Amino acid sequence: MPVFLILLLDAVFIAGAVELTAWLVGTYIFVGADVGFRGITVSASVGLLCGVAASYLTGLHQTSMVLQRKEVAMRSVLVGIATALGVLLASHFVWYQALGRTVLLFVAAAGAAGVLGWRLVYARYLERGPRIRIAVLGDGPAERALISRIASTKHTRYDVVGVLGTDGDGLDVPLLGPLEDAVQACKAHRVEVVMVVTSAAVDPMRQAALTQLRVHGLEIKTAEALIMGMQRRVPVDMVDERWLLHLFEQLDQTRDRVKRVLDVTVAAAGLAVFGALFPFLYVMLRIDSPGPFFYTQNRVGLGNRPFRIYKVRTMTVAQPDATQQWASKQDSRTTRLGRMLRRTRIDEMPQFWNVLRGDMSIVGPRPEQPALAADLESKINYFSYRHLVKPGITGWAQINAGYADSIEATRTKLGYDLYYVRHHTLVLDIDIMLRTFFVMVARIGSR
């Protein structure tokens, strides 16, 4: 479902929540009172805008979120609260008198119920509604991996009806027929879409089959486009030379110059806020544990060039010969104050200085330690391609996958990083900055 339609539905149900509250209050509690859009137009409208903004910032606009019912319920509550707060603040500044707690409670409850309710209905439709019948062209390892990936993705409406090829051994789906009979096989099994893995070898027979399928009206999709559309990340196992060449074509120096202006503006504002917090943080850190206030470490940046990153120290002082390692959720090295600083991301604020220096950007892949980066490059294909852009304080991987503390988790995050490297725009950067706020509030991905 398009993002615009999702947010439009949210707006309709939030507006309905405000009007339902107005009817209940005016009929049963304060008879004759009008706290709907007609009676308190400004306050109700601000509440509506706050509710829709909260839906976007909490990630509820993503179709992939729909089937995660617990997450949807929690974030719907936040949308209801944001709606009520919007009504409260607007009524206070417009009337100089806040609305009663009963009205605000009703608005929050009805808003959350509306946003949650339609998603539960839509989730049931995704699970039990009509499916799009697809066939996979080819029977090699890459095609088999694609079938497993689609089967394990809950929110997809695609149903793999079979494979076009000759080797059916070990397949979890039927073999529909050889490539030369692809058109007849697809018509016989009512196939709507044919899926192609571009990283697989392309021979004349495959080319002829694709041509005939397209001539006869079947839709052709690449596996990479399907996965990126469903999960908003690049399937690393499907990256090949052609994908990389297309990636190089996407890199735009003009876009990078505009991004630099945004970086400097946000970093200057961030350093001003950090400067105001510095005296309090310095005293608290000196009381909490011995050691320096700032922590510096070598990290890998743009073009694999090393630089010094700055953070507020959140761990006990390490020994000089200590090995580089990942931080874990219950890391014994983290101080009491350090846990709070990491949850709120205040420890990252000195990196605004790295942004001003040009070492980093506000948005980009998180920089790794040199030893870890070298180890990951030897174990994960294409890991070094995340260094085609400047590392960032926050990033697409951070708001979607949090921190990684293993090879598999890093491989998953790399998919998000490569998606950002290929698709990054000013709009996406602003989107990530705004949604980072929710990640900070919800304490997602903190170490």
For 107-122, what is each residue's pLDDT tens digit? Answer: 899 999 999 999 999 9
24 residue type, one letter: L
Indicate the SS3 state at residue 159: strand
**Taking residues 37-54, what's their average pLDDT?**
82
- What is the Cα–Cα distance from 111 to 17, expressed in whole angstroms? 5
Pick the CATH number of 132-231 from 3.20.20.10, 1.10.357.10, 3.40.50.20, 3.30.70.3040: 3.40.50.20
Q: Tell me which residue of 75, 52, 68, 61 sits closest to 2, measured CA to CA.
A: 61
**Percentage of residues in the chain having pLDDT higher than 90:** 22
pLDDT for position 446 = 46
* Terminal-to-terminal C-alpha distance of the chain: 34
pLDDT tens track for 240-271:
777 777 777 767 667 788 889 999 999 999 99
pLDDT for position 41 = 72
**Taking residues 381-387, what's their average pLDDT?**
88
The burial class, CB within 10 Å (0-12 / 13-18 / 19+), for 99 is buried
Where in the chain are the domains?
3-128, 132-231, 253-442
- Is the predicted pLDDT of residue 338 greater than 50, yes or no? yes
- Is the predicted pLDDT of residue 6 greater than 70, yes or no? yes
- Is the predicted pLDDT of residue 324 greater than 70, yes or no? no
- Is the predicted pLDDT of residue 165 greater than 50, yes or no? yes
- When pLDDT is cut at 50, 70 and 90, the band that residue 201 belongs to is low
**Taking residues 196-207, what's their average pLDDT?**
76
293-296: long-range contacts (C-beta < 8 A, 24 or more apart)? 294/350
Residue predicted with more confidence, 265 or 289: 265
- Is the predicted pLDDT of residue 418 greater than 70, yes or no? yes
Residue 176, φ and ψ in degrees, nearest 5:
-80, -30
- Is the predicted pLDDT of residue 177 greater than 90, yes or no? no
Of 44-58, 86-100, 181-195, 223-237, the one with minimum mean pLDDT is 86-100
- Is the predicted pLDDT of residue 365 greater than 90, yes or no? yes
pLDDT for position 327 = 59
- Is the predicted pLDDT of residue 322 greater than 60, yes or no? no
Residue predicted with more confidence, 264 or 88: 264
Q: Tell me which residue of 231, 209, 228, 230 sits closest to 220, measured CA to CA.
A: 209
CB atoms inside a 10 Å sphere around CB 262: 16
Of 35-44, 128-137, 257-266, 334-343, the one with minimum mean pLDDT is 35-44
- Is the predicted pLDDT of residue 76 greater than 50, yes or no? yes
Q: Where are the alpha helices (DSSP H) in 289-363?
A: 336-344, 351-357
275 residue type, one letter: G
Name the β-bridge partners of 299. Answer: 307
Q: What is the pTM of this model?
A: 0.75
